[in-house]
């Protein structure tokens, strides 16, 4: 049961990163890819029908985490109180900027909310990457399973690190460039003519940064957390995951250069999912490593809820997943195809 719920939480987090990742990436490129107000409206029309639905996966992942691993939920949400508060504000600013931008036909009004949308999207991507790097690296858990981490200490990975150090900065930068590339590929899929070409070119220019940071990030993980390869060494077949990361990233640029935008975007989805699956596989059965005492690490065994509740919850979770999947299939089918200046939506 512990393995099942660990996989379910990992699945929903991966679904959130893949789906809301292109929303965030489109926001990062909002002021770069779009040259004027009408093209910025096209960015919002590209994500408008789906951005709020995509964020449901984050809420669902948080709810599942609370249901299945309440100790982990309590520890991480208290220890990361300040970063999570900032993330909440950034999510609200993105939603507010999307909804309010078109309410007044005043240039300064639109420019202001365009800036809010782009800045909040970029900072959000960095925070998400740094947060994942914190979980992989470990936090200074106390005997009671709780911790406090300052924003930074000496920028080194050690027994008592801060939220920001050299490793989490790499994670934040990787998330920023990977999601920006992901968003650019999605804009190329949803748009046409000059804007489509520009989005494709920007994604191709971001690709080297993603490759370099990925190449740095994989060995950096081994340095930051020495046992991160233990599961891979015990099950060598799992090395197919990093190979999938490399293959997907290579296919992104190959398909993009051939102007196969949808294929490039799907390989970008595969790249992000493989990165997250690889991180989860390296962590298991630990769900929150302790940087100061490995014996204090929260694992599936000592953080999981009761067996009966999880068994009943699995039935209801399955119904909820079917409903959510049906909704997403309907929405994406209904709003498939290219957007244009005449399309209904955000202007």
pLDDT at 85 over 70: yes
280-327 tens-digit pLDDT: 999 999 999 999 998 999 999 999 999 999 999 999 999 988 998 899
Q: Whole-number mean pLDDT of the chain? A: 92
> What one-character DSSP code corresponds to residue 298?
E
Query: Between 88 and 149, where is the model more confident?
Result: 88
List of residues 6+ apart from 14 with CB closer than 8 A:
272, 273, 276, 277
Interior angle at CA 253, CA 247 and CA 255, nearest 5? 90
| Of the candidates 261, 158, 267, the residue with the CA atom closest to the CA atom of residue 210 | 267
At 6, list the tokens.
Answer: 């660990």
CB-count burial class (<10 Å; 0-12, 13-18, 19+) for 258: exposed
Say what the pLDDT of residue 155 is. 87
pLDDT at 342 over 80: no
List of residues 6+ apart from 338 with CB closer than 8 A:
190, 191, 192
pLDDT at 126 over 60: yes
189-236 tens-digit pLDDT: 999 888 999 999 999 999 999 999 999 998 999 999 989 999 999 999
Question: 4 and 314 in contact (C-beta within 8 Å)?
Answer: yes
Question: 56 and 4 in contact (C-beta within 8 Å)?
Answer: no
Question: 341 and 41 in contact (C-beta within 8 Å)?
Answer: yes
Say what the pLDDT of residue 343 is. 62
pLDDT at 39 over 70: yes
Say what the pLDDT of residue 346 is. 55
Query: Between 341 and 154, where is the model more confident?
Result: 154
Confidence label for 241 from pLDDT (cuts 50, 70 and 90): very high
Cα gap 23→43, rounded to integer Å:
9
Say what the pLDDT of residue 341 is. 65
Q: pTM value? A: 0.94
Cα–Cα separations (whole angstroms), residue 50 to 18, 36, 306? 13, 23, 35
């Amino acid at each position: 049961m512990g393995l099942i719920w660990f996989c379910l939480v990992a699945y929903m987090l991966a679904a959130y990163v893949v789906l809301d990742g292109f929303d965030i990436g489109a926001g990062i490129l909002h002021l770069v890819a779009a040259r004027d107000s009408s093209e910025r409206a096209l960015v919002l029309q590209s994500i408008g029908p789906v951005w709020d639905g995509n964020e449901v996966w984050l809420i669902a992942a948080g709810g599942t985490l609370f249901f299945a691993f309440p100790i982990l939920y309590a520890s991480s949400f208290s220890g990361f109180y300040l970063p999570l508060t900032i993330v909440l504000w950034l999510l609200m600013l993105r939603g507010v900027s999307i909804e309010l931008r078109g309410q007044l036909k005043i240039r300064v009004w639109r420019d202001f909310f365009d800036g809010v949308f782009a800045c909040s999207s970029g900072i959000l991507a960095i925070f998400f990457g740094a947060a994942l790097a914190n979980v992989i690296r470990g936090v200074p858990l106390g005997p009671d399973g709780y911790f406090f981490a300052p924003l930074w200490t000496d920028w080194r990975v050690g027994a008592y690190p801060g939220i920001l150090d050299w490793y989490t900065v790499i994670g934040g930068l990787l998330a920023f460039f990977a999601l920006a590339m992901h968003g650019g590929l999605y804009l190329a899929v949803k748009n046409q003519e000059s804007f489509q070409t520009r989005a494709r070119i920007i994604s191709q220019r971001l690709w080297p940064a993603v490759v370099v940071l990925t190449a740095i990030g994989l060995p950096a993980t081994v340095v930051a957390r020495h046992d991160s390869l233990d599961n891979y060494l015990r099950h060598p077949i799992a090395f197919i995951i990093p190979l999938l990361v490399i293959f997907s990233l290579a296919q992104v640029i190959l398909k993009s250069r051939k102007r196969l935008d949808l294929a490039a975007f799907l390989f970008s989805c595969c790249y992000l999912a493989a990165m997250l699956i690889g991180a989860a596989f390296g962590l298991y059965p630990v769900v929150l490593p302790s940087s100061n005492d490995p014996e204090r690490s929260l694992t599936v065994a000592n953080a999981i809820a009761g067996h009966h509740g999880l068994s009943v919850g699995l039935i209801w979770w399955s119904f909820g997943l079917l409903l959510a999947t049906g909704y997403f299939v309907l929405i994406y089918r209904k709003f498939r195809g290219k957007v244009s200046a005449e399309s209904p939506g955000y202007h």
